[in-house]
């Protein structure tokens, strides 16, 4: 069975001492305790105490996640849970930062050597200005976010993200943190077996966790990952080289890239959209349509829209908005992504939501590895609030660019 509880090592990854590793493992265990022990307690607290009190005060049941939140924030148990969750996030990053700061000169030199030996392209344009919705805060409490630089040719944010995400996900993104990309690739393999993209773009790639599986599944394709953070892009390039993959990376804004019209057959993103803004999302959809060749496909993988969840589950997930420095988390899930895709130029009949089963859970649940039967079981599981992905699957928005429309133009 796949071991999901130890991160796979590679040459660019920070190497922790015994004490550093112990602190990192504590943060992962602490998050596991919160998810397995504190989080389940919120449901009976709400049903037995908070909801009846709300009904008594207002003469009606809570209508939505906002009503639920207004009542729950007064509850001592919820305050305890929310505080523990925020503290766990902050000490997670700090535990990794200590390790990185100790060995930063060596990490910088290693990344430089790995990138120099790679045949893949690395483009960091001079004077690039990241969007304010990224630089205005430390996204998910990660110190400095994706864009802060503390050294020349810096990769600190990338190293921090690579190790930190593994701890945050408690191993459930797989040994290489690549479950989202691998899950989308598995989805394509089963549902679009004849689809063989020659050029693939991963928007908002950070360190390339989800990018590399596309090179593995489509080895003849030219694969690019772009992100607004220079340090994460540099690290992504070095990490790919360390893992034996020739994947190109560039610092670009997904709202407006420098690639020519119709350059890609497949444009993807993985948990990108909720880290953008209400103005940026339509621009990203427009850019996807511009970049796709006729018959090309756009796939955005994320958690599902709120209208697919009950209000209490919405409330649980929306805690990321309030306590994890992700201000667009909730608002993004209220946006009509189908309509955004239509407005970008995709035909209505070529747009849909679907579920890509988590590759890690699918593999672990099947004695013979991946299978269509196991995929269906995972995809059909009922979502329990607090799971890393809903029901064991990623919600994917899929849109295909019409061939006839482009030819007529």
**Minimum mean pLDDT range among 235-249, 329-343, 361-375:** 361-375
Torsion (CA) 158, 172, 22, 8 in degrees, nearest 10: -60
d(CA 355, CA 378): 10
Comparing CA positions, the residue from 388, 384, 357 lying closest to residue 373 is 357
Mean pLDDT across the stretch 187-205?
Answer: 96
Neighbours of 59 (CB within 10 A): 7
Residue 248 β-bridge partners = 224
Residues 6+ apart with CB under 8 A from 224: 199, 200, 201, 202, 247, 248, 249, 250, 259
Report the SS3 class of residue 2: coil
**Minimum mean pLDDT range among 3-7, 62-66, 191-195, 321-325:** 3-7
Comparing CA positions, the residue from 16, 14, 4, 11 lying closest to residue 245 is 11
Q: What is the pTM of this model?
A: 0.92
Token pair recorded at residue 351: 């747009």
373 CB-contact burial (10 Å; exposed 0-12 / middle 13-18 / buried 19+) = exposed
Binning pLDDT at 50, 70 and 90, where does residue 407 land?
A: very low
Mean pLDDT across the stretch 20-47?
Answer: 95
Q: Is the pLDDT of residue 1 over 50?
A: no
pLDDT score of 202 = 98
Report the SS3 class of residue 397: strand
Comparing CA positions, the residue from 183, 243, 171 lying closest to residue 207 is 243
d(CA 110, CA 108): 6
d(CA 91, CA 46): 28
Q: Is the pLDDT of residue 75 over 70?
A: yes
Domain boundaries, the chain: 1-409
Answer whether 23's CB lies under 8 Å from 31's CB. no
Mean pLDDT across the stretch 35-58?
Answer: 96
d(CA 291, CA 294): 10
Mean pLDDT across the stretch 89-101?
Answer: 97
pLDDT score of 129 = 96
d(CA 386, CA 35): 6
pLDDT score of 322 = 94
Share the mean pLDDT of the chain.
Answer: 91
Neighbours of 133 (CB within 10 A): 17
pLDDT tens digits along 341-384: 999 999 999 999 999 988 887 766 554 554 556 555 555 545 45
pLDDT tens digits along 135-178: 999 999 999 999 999 999 999 999 999 999 999 998 889 899 99
Report the SS3 class of residue 105: helix
Main-chain dihedrals φ then ψ at residue 218, nearest 5 degrees:
-125, 70
Using left for φ > 0, alpha for ψ between -120 and 50, and beta otherwise, residue 201 falls in: beta
Q: How many residues does the chain have?
A: 409
Token pair recorded at residue 23: 């602190």
Report the SS3 class of residue 267: strand
Residue 274 to residues 198, 335, 337: CA-CA distances in angstroms? 28, 10, 12
CATH class of 1-409: alpha beta
């Amino acid at each position: 069975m796949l071991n999901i509880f130890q991160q796979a090592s590679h040459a660019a990854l920070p190497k922790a001492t015994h004490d550093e590793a112990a602190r990192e493992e504590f943060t992962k265990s602490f998050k596991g305790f919160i998810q397995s022990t504190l989080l389940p307690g919120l449901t009976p607290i709400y049903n037995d105490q908070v909801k009846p009190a709300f009904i008594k005060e207002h003469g009606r049941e809570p209508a939505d996640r906002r009503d639920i939140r207004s009542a729950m924030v007064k509850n001592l148990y919820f305050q305890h849970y929310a505080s523990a969750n925020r503290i766990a996030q902050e000490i997670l990053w700090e535990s990794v930062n200590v390790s990185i700061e100790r060995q930063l000169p060596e990490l910088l030199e290693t990344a430089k050597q790995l990138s120099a030996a790679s045949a893949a392209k690395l483009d960091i344009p001079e004077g690039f200005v990241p969007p304010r919705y990224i630089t205005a805060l430390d996204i998910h409490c990660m110190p400095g976010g994706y864009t802060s630089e503390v050294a020349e040719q810096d990769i600190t944010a990338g190293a921090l993200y690579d190790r930190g995400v593994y701890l945050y996900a408690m191993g459930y993104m797989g040994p290489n943190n690549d479950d989202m990309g691998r899950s989308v690739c598995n989805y394509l393999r089963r549902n679009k077996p004849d689809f063989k993209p020659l050029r693939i773009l991963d928007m908002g790639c950070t360190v390339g966790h989800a990018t590399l599986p596309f090179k593995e599944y489509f080895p003849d394709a030219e694969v690019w990952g772009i992100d607004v953070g220079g340090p994460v892009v540099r690290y992504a390039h070095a990490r790919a080289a360390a893992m034996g993959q020739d994947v190109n990376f560039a610092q670009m804004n997904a709202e407006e890239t420098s690639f020519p019209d119709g350059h890609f057959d497949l444009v993807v993103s993985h948990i990108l959209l909720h880290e953008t803004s209400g103005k940026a999302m339509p621009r990203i959809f427009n850019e996807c349509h511009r970049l796709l060749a006729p018959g090309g496909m756009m796939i955005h993988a994320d958690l599902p829209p709120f209208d697919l969840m009950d209000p209490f589950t919405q409330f649980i997930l929306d805690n990321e908005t309030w306590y994890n420095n992700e201000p667009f988390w909730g608002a993004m899930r209220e946006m009509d992504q189908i309509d955004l895709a239509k407005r970008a130029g995709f035909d209505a009949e070529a747009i849909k939501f679907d579920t890509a089963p988590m590759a890690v859970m699918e593999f672990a649940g099947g004695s013979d590895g991946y299978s269509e039967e196991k995929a269906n079981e995972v995809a059909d599981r009922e979502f329990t609030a607090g799971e890393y992905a809903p029901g064991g699957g990623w919600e994917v928005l899929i849109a295909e660019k019409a061939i006839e429309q482009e030819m007529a133009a």
